[in-house]
Amino acid sequence: MNIKRLFSGLLAGTAMTLAAAADSAPKYIFYFIGDGMGVNEVMNAQLYKKHVLGTGDLLMTGFPAGSMATSHSASSDVTDSAAAGTALATGRKTNNGMLGVTPDTAAVTSIAKTLFDDGYGVGLVTSVAIDDATPGAFYAHVPKRSMFREIGSQLAASGYQFAAGSGLRGTKDKKGRDTGLLAEFAENGMSVSYGLAGADLTADRVLVLSPDTARNWSIGYTIDSIPGALTLQELTKACISHLERVSPEKFFVMVEGGNIDHSGHANDAATNMIETINFDNTIRIAYDFYKQHPEETLIVVTADHETGGMSVGNQSSGYAVYPGRLAPRRLSKDAFSDFCKGIAKSRRIFKWEDMKEYLAENLGFWTPSTKVSDEQTNRLREMFEDMFTRHVTRPDQKTLYSDFDAFTAAVFEIADTQAGINWASTKHTGSPVPVFAIGRGSEIFGRFGDNTEIPRKIMELAGKQIE
């Protein structure tokens, strides 16, 4: 057998296959990544949506292609967001903490960059910082995910037409001095605004950040209804609108629901469910676009990892889950913690009867929906008196993004447990993540695999290869 001739034939066949794929490539590609959104997060959100909101199933669970993916990194069975983001953006594994590079720090190319070089417009949207791990994996190459100055500089130089998130953390150094990063965006022709109201959407390149510069790690939780806060839906709509103007023939959009992960680290079930539903509502914006361009659009939904080890049912709930017991919730665990710390700091007179009233109004405690036992009530009262009357310090519950006082931790543990939800951790787990897809070529996402296969399949449909 002529090996040279066989090899040449295989190369020619591959080239013909890629050329055929390119001719039928989706023109509009949407890549949704629910940060920390494991299978149980999706299931609990679906139960909440069905039984509490009464609006049926999540949109994503009705997509024709559905499967799961493993999420381990090159260095651990439990990934961090940088390694997982790199896998989802480039199809390559790396070590925890590394972004857009291999374990030996060689740069790897993201699918966004490959598509951009092929004439696609590119937009990146997130509810957390735009220089965070998941969005950063689509444009940055750094050995440490904390290198915010370098990550921001690479976003400025990327050429991508739209980016939006809560903040840009490399604009100041550790001493609070200006690093000149914002000047780089100006030099690269990217208009920067704080809020959509002041955004110059006539510019070729746009970066939208939160008007609340003190909260540069998140736009805030949906449940807290923060006045003037950006929302994932409005940012996604702005992104699509901008790309339709500057790159109407074809574009790629990555949208991250980052607050699902934050609420998972906090072990805050109601906030997590509402953030997952909010993410699903954002997917609907792309779905409405798909309905107008069904033969030209691909939508892929997945997650970088699971956060918190969230359960659907627990020892005390039996063979049942009670999402309705979370329906009265009016604020996140973070907001309640801030409320408690504010009272303690002010040393104002705040009695147990005042706290009981607040918990009843904002979490539904001691109401028919959330019956708190005498034992639980006595436990909470003792902890309340320690914090607000005796000023006894108990160990905080320390998580990745927040430290919660012991009283707050106990309140939310009781609320979640009564709803049938337990948490295994305040960190990530190695559980598989869901994959959903609809649109052109979506059927190839319908089997269990690894997270690195997802971007490879997207590139296959686009007529490209990941080396």
Number of Cβ within a 10 Å radius of residue 144: 13
Give the pLDDT confidence score for residue 8 in this predicted structure.
53
What's the rounded Cα separation, in Å, for the pair 270 and 363? Answer: 10
What's the rounded Cα separation, in Å, for the pair 436 and 438? Answer: 7
Which pLDDT tens digit goes with each residue over 276-332? 999 999 999 999 999 999 999 999 999 999 999 999 999 999 999 999 999 999 999
Non-local (6+) Cβ contacts of 353 within 8 A are: none
Q: Which two three-digit tokens encode residue 83?
A: 């390694």
Question: Counting beta carbons within 10 angstroms of the beta carbon of residue 152, is it exposed (0 to 12), middle (13 to 18) or buried (19 or more)?
Answer: buried
For residue 448, the 8-state DSSP code is: -
Packed helices 453-461 and 81-90: angle between N→C axes, nearest 10 degrees: 20
Which pLDDT tens digit goes with each residue over 392-451? 888 899 999 999 999 999 999 999 999 999 999 999 999 999 999 999 999 999 999 999
Percent of the chain exceeding pLDDT 70 equals 95
Which pLDDT tens digit goes with each residue over 206-262? 999 999 988 889 999 999 999 999 999 999 999 999 999 999 999 999 999 999 999
Cβ contact 215:181 at 8 Å: no
For residue 198, the 8-state DSSP code is: T
Give the pLDDT confidence score for residue 222 in this predicted structure.
97
SS3 content of the chain, % helix, strand, coil (to 5): 45, 15, 40
Single out the residue of 204, 183, 185, 207 nearest to residue 194, CA to CA: 207
What's the rounded Cα separation, in Å, for the pair 258 and 337? Answer: 20
Give the pLDDT confidence score for residue 339 in this predicted structure.
96
pLDDT class of 7 with cuts at 50, 70, 90: very low
For residue 99, the 8-state DSSP code is: B
Give the pLDDT confidence score for residue 2 in this predicted structure.
52
Pairing of β 121-126 and β 397-398:
unpaired
Name the E strands within 344-432: 397-398, 403-404, 428-429
pTM of the prediction?
A: 0.94
What's the rounded Cα separation, in Å, for the pair 101 and 321? Answer: 42
Cβ contact 45:277 at 8 Å: yes
Average pLDDT, the chain: 94
Give the pLDDT confidence score for residue 207 in this predicted structure.
98
Q: Which residue has the tokens 């607040």?
A: 358
